Structure 1
């Protein structure tokens, strides 16, 4: 009997940023993999996730490799980086996620998905800057929710206030879980999989095994990794984010902020309707 094959796709969350070990990075997916089978050595884990990946990167680069590996279980957690680009388009995000989920479903591969908190809240940005990002992330989460239900995915809710507010779960950069956070994600996924008889091993412990980084180490990581992250995003996101913030202020002054939320909701509805129409053209 061949080992169970678990393939993880996505961005920095799945790559393991925030959970450093001697070998490099570990992360929630590696922690989960260790508890999928009853005996050690019965799982082959392949982590294809790459920091900064968008839905297009997963669809074009990671998915073909994942399918070639013939996985028994796959995870796809992606979308935050799409919201941080001036090219953000919820229709495109929905189309690519539908294609990724559908490809896994056609191979009969159980799929792990998750909705995520918006980066503006995590970074503590001012309201006029945070709200546009939150609105974008809500649209991505709405699409992920709908498609996860369509493809019967094992879905984990990670956008709740309690998850965001507990600072002990997050690394110094405020964007990625620390070891405790990665362990919690792995344990919660394990519980969902066990309920479907898809996890035979023991769940990972939620308690960190390594001491948290000291203040100096945290500040160093924040000023190096965090500053690099901001520098990479500013040339692409910042000009548009300022435009979005200006639009937010104008609507606030006019008392018409609800229109922005309505427009985002309508965009999600249209994106999902377009997927249904493409799947059933005879009904169009």
Structure 2
């Protein structure tokens, strides 16, 4: 389901077309629901196109808004019986699609591609911005999974309370957009020594009027490709600029490659597809330092980012490239190199992986409804937040059992998370977790030591050993945990709470109800105390066999890596999702632990239980004080009480 489709061509339409090609190429069956418009095709890439009744968008008549009810959309889905519903840039029609998918218990993936709230401000109707933000949050929380194209858009969504946000960028057609498309004949017709180019919609949200400061630069000409409601106003504002109107296909590729500098001033870009196309064409980019461009432009390597709204800075960045041909070539070459691994094929393969995740999460949602609880709110992490002192509390999972380091010592998800956090500028790290410990231990000895260390971040994963006991009072241990979290929060520390989890084994089912009840209670603790929550029920692949060690009780190295990167995501570690995907690929042939499970693990555990003993008796924490993780020793000293 897409808010925009042919014959209206834009970034949303373009990505949908690429997805349909990939689905056809990989043997999947697709069906398209899109707003009706004159010239809309009935089929594309083997997928039937169902035109939904629509109305023109006021002030932008070639953009149509779908008007079908959720009931009619549900009827269309029921006829097709999809495994997944993909909502492309959902807002109006996408809202009805989200409702229909939920009604039919079908997983829905919402691809965030348009910052509608920012558009309302640009179009001079800021009173509706709050309404738009509320609608965006409500819609994306209805979806099973949300895909954000950039780090900043992911943070925007999280700030609105949207959970389950995954990163998914856009591919680029590196065969069509290529430096070889550069045309000296075309450049001669433009009549300028240096060409400053722009490609995109001519509308208020694109801020093309900012290019007027470049219209009189000596020896240059501004060439603008695109059309829209602002064209007449822009032509009057920039009399020396050349307006080529809408171009597509080879004509667009030739124009793009014939630019010397590509400039994009829009501050509401969730991604910035034309920036990728400029890089693929070997052209350096100057863009505003906000939104999608932050992920696409590397300062001084393949372009420049200027301070949002600072037109003097924009002019200075463009002058820097206009006056230095060698620099333009070097930055253009670097941009071309950067996009070579971003083919639409690889990007759409990632999308299929997200589809699989969403289908798994849909079963989680069904279980949550059976528990009569709602999905937890997204953690309120400030973008760019950094911590300098991190303490991990817990039991064997946090100690790192079944995750050996090359030197034979134990490392676990918390150790791996500490390394991710340290990469942002160094970190003092302590791990107080000891195997076999229970909630009372974390809320007692471990808590007191943690408070003495005065951390600014504390992680707690505890409860499994209580929940597999002969009898357990879930409310009591949840209350104990909440008291500990309150004390840590009162000390000024952020707290990361992780719900305990079970492997996907028949024997584990007898504890499922307890674990579910405790997870619900922990979610409540997080909501009341402002703690950051990882509800592991939201990650349905965690119980899978490859994530568990030989003893079938503790996470394997693969499982510890998985949990560490999920924690990195919720804590706002840059590119944690991409790093996790890369790590998974590097270890995809890692063997699954197997062995004499009963003799090595089950019987010793039973023996200890019968004799009232625990594996952690007499053990001490592996990092009872801070160790410094980082390149520099200048900041190693940290005051502790």
User: So what's the TM-score if we normalise by structure 2?
Assistant: 0.32
Among 416, 420, 428, the residue aligned to 1:35: 420
Please give the alpha-carbon distance, in whole angstroms, between the structure 2 residues aligned to 1:185 and 1:157: 11
Preserved contact between residue 15 and residue 51 of structure 1 (Cα < 8 Å) = yes
- In the alignment, does 2:500 pair up with 1:124? no
1:24 is matched with: 409
Choose from 53, 61, 66 the match for 2:450: 66
Alignment match of 1:115 (pick from 488, 496, 499):
499
Task: Tell me the CA shift for residue 232 of structure 1.
Answer: 2.7
- Corresponding position of 2:198: none
For 1:176 and 1:135, locate their aligned partners in 2 and report how far apart those are by CA, in whole Å.
20
Where do 4+ consecutive residues of structure 1 move more than 3 Å? 37-40, 199-206, 208-215, 220-223, 233-236
State the 1:202 CA deviation: 6.3
**CA 1:155/1:222 → structure 2, altered by over 3 Å: closer, same or farther?**
farther
Contact 1:36–1:202 (Cα < 8 Å) also in 2:
no
Asked if the contact 2:500/2:519 (under 8 Å) is kept, the reply is: yes
Partner of 2:523: 145
Q: Find the residue that maps to 1:24 and give its secondary structure.
A: coil
Q: Counterparts in 2 of 1:1-284, with a 5 A limit?
A: 4-21=388-405, 22-38=407-423, 42-118=426-502, 122-125=504-507, 130-131=509-510, 133-160=511-538, 162-194=540-572, 199=573, 205=580, 206-207=583-584, 212=590, 218-220=594-596, 223-233=599-609
Q: CA deviation at 1:77?
A: 0.8
Query: How far apart are 1:39 and its partner, in Å?
Result: 5.1
* CA distance in structure 1 between the partners assigned to 2:498 and 2:413 by the alignment: 12
Task: Specify the SS of the correspondent of 2:496.
Answer: strand
SS at match of 1:18: coil
Change (3 A) 1:17 1:211: farther
The Cα of 1:30 is off from its aligned counterpart by 0.5
Change (3 A) 1:15 1:74: same
CA contact (8 A) 2:438 2:462 kept: yes
Aligned partners of 2:396 and 2:433 also within 8 Å: yes
Change in CA separation of 1:36 and 1:45 when aligned onto 2, cut-off 3 Å: same
Q: Which one has a bigger Cα radius of gyration?
A: 2
SS of alignment partner, residue 46 of structure 1 = strand
Moved more, 139-148 or 78-87: 78-87
CA-CA distance at 1:224 after TM superposition:
1.8
Asked if structure 1 preserves the Cα contact closer than 8 Å seen for 2:504 and 2:545, the reply is no
Aligned equivalent of 2:296: none
Give the Å deviation of 1:38.
3.9
Which residue in the other structure is 2:284 paired with? Answer: none
C-alpha distance in 1 between matches for 2:504 and 2:399: 19
Please say if residues 474 and 518 of structure 2, whose CA atoms lie closer than 8 Å, have aligned partners that are also in contact.
Answer: yes
The 3 A distance-change label for structure 1 pair 222 and 163 is: farther
User: TM-score with structure 1 length normalisation?
Assistant: 0.69
Larger relative strand fraction = 2
**Given the superposition, is the C-alpha separation of residues 214 and 106 from structure 1 closer, same or farther in structure 2, using an over 3 Å criterion?**
closer
Give unpaired runs (5+ residues) of structure 1: 237-284
Q: Relative to structure 1, is the Cα distance of residues 45 and 138 closer, same or farther in structure 2, using a 3 angstrom cutoff? A: same
Higher relative contact order (CA 8 A, sep 6+): 1
Provide the C-alpha distance between the structure 1 equivalents of 2:457 and 2:435, rounded to a whole number of angstroms. 21
CA deviations on 1:121-168 (whole Å, 9 max, x unpaired) are 64421xxx833x222112211110100111222211213572245222
- Measured in 2, the distance between the counterparts of 1:114 and 1:23 equals 26
Aligned length: 222
Provide the aligned C-alpha RMSD in A.
2.8
Residue 234 of structure 1, CA deviation: 5.5
Q: Secondary structure at the match of 2:422?
A: coil
Q: Which runs of 5 or more structure 2 residues have no equivalent in the other structure?
A: 1-386, 613-641
Q: State how far apart, in whole Å, the 2-side matches of 1:61 and 1:173 are.
A: 28
Matched-pair contact (CA < 8 Å) for 1:123–1:175: no
